Amino acid sequence: MRKALGILVLLLVVAGVTALASEGFLTAYNLENLCRRTALFGILAVGAGIVIMAGGIDLSTGSVVCLAGCLLPWLLVSEGWSPTAAVAAVLGLGVIVGLFQGALVAWGRLQPFLVTLCGLLFYRGLARGITDDQTQGFRGGFDGLRSLATGRIPVPGLTDLDAFEGASAFAIPAPVASLAAIAVLAAIILRFTVWGRWLLAVGRNPQAAAYSGIPVAWVTLSAFAAGAVLSAYGGMLFVLDVGSAQPADFGNFYELYAIAAAVLGGCSLRGGEGSVAGIVVGAALMQVLRNAIVLVERIPDNVEYAVIGAVILVGVLADELVRRLARRRGGTLRGAA
């Protein structure tokens, strides 16, 4: 929790600096967009975080986003499925992908890095093969389903209802509702349920967990399944938001944004710790950074990755320093007499 606060301060500082440096930042249009992107990436980051907390890593996020994002319009438009069936199929595919990867890790004893690296290549290739590398879109239809991502929820007192359709009014983008529901559910599960405690225990010390009678393999499996389902759901929202997906690059690098947000938000890659609140704030920080690079004119857009890389490094470094300071004062591992 303390970590989530630290990253929140960093988020506010970056947002404040950006607001000072660019007039475009604090506009209703920009803030709404920022919320939408934060929500979309936040969903992926919560998934990545769950896998990381269980002691794993999921590199396949971006490719699952691509697979879900291409298959949804393909099923609806080219194959003529009903929206319910198509959504169920895409989410079901997410579960299958997660169970497959989780089983390889849990029972096949393969390293998560390798399994999901292969997944990263495999699902991307699969998506491109199925769609014959053609851009998939909704052809202007399916507005009902698309409102899941493009919808706007007016805030009483804040949203100017007269100007609602225009860019000058702020409304909460629909994906924020999805993220809120997912984050609250994940936080409750991780903090207050047996499964959540098992997950953290397996991430912390799988051997001790096995000795404690915890079903380690099943916990691992479920963590990977949860991660992949969230990736698929996120991918679905992404395509519903944008309207079309190009199989060759849809979702490229998204796993890195997700992992970076989770790590910034306090997940240790060693497993066993992390908070959902921190992950969400981490995802927001990533998006504010990207936004700042676009808006602030003194920063050329093409250095985006360098800036993001540097900020993550600083964040992780600061965290490590704080941890060491706390250890020196609090006395842990090395200090035990």
Interaction site with another protein (CB under 8 A): 192-195, 197-198, 200-201, 204-205, 207-215, 272-273, 329-337
In the complex, the smallest distance separating the C-beta of residue 205 from another protein, rounded to whole angstroms, is 5
* Least separation in angstroms between CB 317 and another protein: 20
Please name the residues in contact with 135: beta carbons below 8 A apart, sequence gap of 6 or more: 244, 245, 246, 247
Task: Report the SS3 class of residue 11.
Answer: helix
**Residue position matching structure tokens 């979702």:** 251
Nearer to another protein, 177 or 210 (CB): 210
Within a 10 A sphere around the Cβ of 301, how many other Cβ atoms?
Answer: 11
Select 76 or 201, whichever has its Cβ closest to another protein. Answer: 201
Which three-class secondary structure string do you get for 316-332? Answer: HHHHHHHHHHHHHHHCC
Burial (CB < 10 A; 0-12, 13-18, 19+), residue 242, is middle
* Shorter beta-carbon distance to another protein: residue 207 or 302: 207
Tell me if 290 sits within 8 A of 260, measured CB to CB.
Answer: no
Query: Is residue 204 packed enough to be buried (19+ CB in 10 Å), middle (13-18) or exposed (0-12)?
Result: middle
Shortest spacing between CB 270 and another protein, in angstroms: 9
| Least gap, CB of 106 to another protein (angstroms) | 13
CB of 23 to another protein, least distance (A): 46
Return the number of the residue (24 or 215) whose C-beta is nearest another protein: 215
CB closer to another protein out of 176 and 201: 201
Of 57, 109, 44, nearest in space to 271 by CA:
57
Supply 13's token pair: 């500082």
d(CA 282, CA 36): 15
182 token code pair: 């997912």
| Residue listed under structure tokens 């998204």 | 254
Nearer to another protein, 9 or 184 (CB): 184
* Cβ closest to another protein, residue 178 vs residue 268: 268
Shortest distance (Å) from residue 275 CB to another protein:
14
Beta partners for 137?
Answer: 244
- The least distance separating another protein from the CB of residue 259, rounded to whole angstroms, comes to 21
Residue number, 298 or 334, with CB nearest to another protein: 334
Q: How far is the CB of 268 from another protein (least distance, A)?
A: 9
Residue count (the chain)? 337
Structure tokens at 47: 């998934």
